[in-house]
Copies of this chain bind each other. A is one copy, B any other.
Amino acid sequence: MLTYNLDKSNAAPLYEQLYSSIRNDIISGVIDGDTRLPSKREFAEHLGVSKVTVENAYSLLISEGYVYSLPKKGYYAESGLQAPLRTYNDPTQTDVLSSESKTFRIDLSANNVPEKQFPFDTWIRMMRKVCLDYGKELLNPIPFNGTPYLRSVLCKYLFEERGMKVHPSQIFIGAGSEYLYYMIIKFFGNDMVYSAENPGYQKIREIYRQNGVTVKDIDIDTEGPSMQILRSINPNVFHFSPSHNFPSGSVTSPRRRNEILKWANEKDGRYIIEDDFDSELRFSGRPVSTLFSACSNENIIYLNTFSKTIAPSVRVAYMVLPAALAGKMNSCFKGNSCSVSSFDQYTLAAFIEGGYFERHISRTKKYYGRLRDELLYVFEKHRPALDAVLYEGEAGLHFSVSFNDKKRLSAVKKTFEQNNIGVSFTGDYYSGEFSEDENRIFINYSGLSAGDFDEVLTLMEGAK
């Protein structure tokens, strides 16, 4: 009879030890296929274990298909089970992504939120509150377009802050802007002509490209997207940010906005994606009103996110669709799952509804306003030696710097590399032809301290 040494001091229960031993013997061929195994009672006695132990081991072997039973006959080993050769490389010692998250000593390119700015206590309090108030709902499947609670809170918010009158059913919640871009492409299909601003976030182009769509560039002039180029391309879907071009920080002029709306309304099948990604963080004036509310036709999709206003790690974005499109999109995707956890949606909704989001925005603006002033003061000290100009946008947490002596830029690039300073350049956001003379150093100051900026500027001074 089969004999195994089962070890009671072993962490694995006896039935599991027995199961593995028999399984290994079947796989390795020690027990041939169709061999009868000992009866439970005999085997238990033989091994000095309880009958239940053998029963458990057998039932596990049966459920996994290593053993079969014949009524009134007994238990038999399955045949044809010899496993393919196991040469699996144990990768526990190798990190396949050696490039993973390179960290810079000072990073001028990343969007970092200062820890002190985030109201963790309030966030946890909201979370506890929604767990108490909505326990059951929190666990149920979420409609594809998001929880009704967050959608209705957003409606109120959009009306109060952006003058937009929309119904909760026009709102779609998604796990970040990139996810929404993907939904839009999936909805409109790959055959449409897509356009985006140039310069602009390269990421937008990249996401479109990944989804099988080529984005045609609409160059920006002093007033906004060039009408001439827009009219020569005549895209079906034009993705742009009227209230804040990135990286220039400029606002599309009201005249140009009207021209663009006029263009969109001239013909069916022309849609504008109004990417309003950081309208809340403007430093001069108040947020520019939205195209969505200015347009009479049903061809503007409004997009916003909490990446900038809360943190890039909070993956919640939303879009507002004209009623007709919202209905169509819903019938397209209603079987899909929502991509944002209900816990996040409810907590965020309570955060906005309680007025904490508004307070957070106003505190954040004050904080960044002070930081901006501090950094500008630091720059002013260095300006004569640098012989450089600093450009501030009206919106966004960044500015750009250009040297009067254009040749210095490459020296600065080198110095930054040598000193492990993360940086991007305005030229990085252009596609197509770009004159290096117009290139500027792009500085995202969201996570920058005055001391670090001073250090960076001193390095820049030394780069010649």
Q: Which residues of A contact B (CB under 8 A)?
A: 16, 59-60, 62-66, 78-97, 99-101, 110-113, 115, 118, 120, 123-124, 127-128, 131, 135-136, 138-143, 145, 148, 165-170, 175-179, 182, 186, 190, 203, 206-207, 210-212, 223, 251-258, 261-262, 265, 282, 284-286, 288-289, 293-296, 311-316, 323-324, 326-327, 330-344, 394
Contact of A169 (CB < 8 Å), options: B100, B178, B312: B100
Q: Are A63 and B251 in contact (CB under 8 A)?
A: yes
Q: Are A84 and B254 in contact (CB under 8 A)?
A: no
Point out the residues of chain B lying under 8 angstroms from A112, CB to CB.
139-141
8 extra interchain contacts, Cβ-Cβ under 8 A, other than A65-B252, A95-B168? A78-B255, A97-B145, A112-B141, A124-B128, A138-B313, A182-B182, A186-B211, A207-B336
Query: Contacts A63-B251, A97-B145, A258-B83; is A91 near B315 (CB within 8 Å)?
Result: no
Is there contact, CB below 8 Å, between B81 and A254?
A: yes
Q: Which residue of B lies closest to A344 (CB)?
A: B341
| Residue from the set A127, A211, A293 with the largest chain B CB neighbour count within 10 Å | A127
CB distance A81 to B139 under 8 Å? no
Q: Please report the C-alpha to C-alpha distance between residue A431 and residue B262 in the assembled complex, in whole angstroms.
A: 47
A343 touches B293 (CB 8 A): no
Please measure, in the bound complex, the distance between the C-alpha atom of A265 and the C-alpha atom of B87, giving whole angstroms.
12
Task: Report if A258-B81 is in contact (Cβ < 8 Å); known contacts: A140-B113, A141-B313, A341-B341.
Answer: yes
Q: Are B255 and A141 in contact (CB under 8 A)?
A: no
CB <8 Å contact, B312 and A337: yes
Which residue in chain B gives the minimum CB-CB distance to A90?
A: B165
- Ordered by A's residue number, 17 sampled pairs between the chains whose C-beta atoms are within 8 Å are A62-B285, A64-B254, A64-B285, A88-B293, A88-B295, A95-B167, A97-B327, A97-B330, A100-B143, A113-B140, A123-B343, A175-B175, A190-B212, A207-B336, A315-B341, A340-B341, A343-B344
User: With a CB–CB cut-off of 8 A, which chain B residues contact A296?
Assistant: 84-88
Residues in B neighbouring A167, C-beta threshold 8 A: 91-96
Q: Are A343 and B313 in contact (CB under 8 A)?
A: yes
Docked complex Cα distance between A115 and B140 (Å): 9
User: How far does the alpha carbon of A175 sit from the alpha carbon of B251 in the complex, in Å?
Assistant: 34
Q: Taking CB as reference atom, which chain B residue is nearest A330? A: B97
Contacts of A341 in B (CB 8 A): 313-316, 340-341, 344
Asked if B330 contacts A99 (CB within 8 A), the reply is yes
What chain B residues lie within 8 Å of A95 (beta carbons)? Answer: 167-169
A210 and B329 alpha carbons, distance in the complex (Å): 12
Task: Name the distance in Å between A427's Cβ and chain B's nearest Cβ.
Answer: 17
Measured in the bound complex, the distance between the Cα atoms of B123 and A42 in whole Å is 49
Instruction: Give CA–CA (A64, B455) in the complex, Å.
Output: 36
Closest to A134 in B: B115
Interface residue from B92, B96, B101, B123 paired with A324 (Cβ < 8 Å): B96
